Amino acid sequence: MQKPPMASMLYAIEISSFSRDTIFSNQYMAYGTLSEGLKRTLSELFAVNTSSKQEVSMTRENRKHETGMGLNILSSLHPVFRTHTDSGIQAFYDNKAHTTHFEDLTDKYSKSLLNFLFKHQVKTDFTYRYRREKNTLAS
């Protein structure tokens, strides 16, 4: 979306009997551990984000068939980092599910850089395992 929501939340209406955990990754911490040089380089880049990546489009295709409604492919440019409106702290805003490449970079260079970032963003030091229960809200 051109203007994405400020936040997202996970509300557990039903809980699977085989998986109750969700792992969150703190993107403020992930950003904070980057070198200053890499932060500067990435701050000048814009990432292309789309709903058409296979991992995302499969769930969208499933919803399309379930509801009988067509779903438009969404695509837009976003900075690699996002600044929290109250604290001013920066966090990563790219993600493996939606980010396809960087504007003005070759596909090969984009892929290499994104693979590095995607691995960095989910390091164990930045993650938290949340155990969902029925009617719980995680934000």
What residue segments make up the domains of the chain, in order of their start? 18-134
SS3 41: helix
6-18 mean pLDDT: 82
Q: Which two three-digit tokens encode residue 15?
A: 């809980």
- Is residue 74 within 8 Å of residue 51, measured between CB atoms? yes
Q: Quote the CA–CA distance of 139 and 126 in Å, as a whole number.
A: 16
What is the phi-psi region of residue 136: left when phi exceeds 0, alpha when psi lies from -120 to 50, beta otherwise? beta
Q: Which CATH class is domain 18-134?
A: alpha beta
Pairing outcome for strands 137-138 and 46-50: unpaired
| Structure confidence by residue, pLDDT tens digits, 75-121 | 889 999 999 889 999 999 998 888 999 999 999 999 999 999 999 99
| Structure confidence by residue, pLDDT tens digits, 27-57 | 999 999 999 999 999 999 999 988 776 555 4
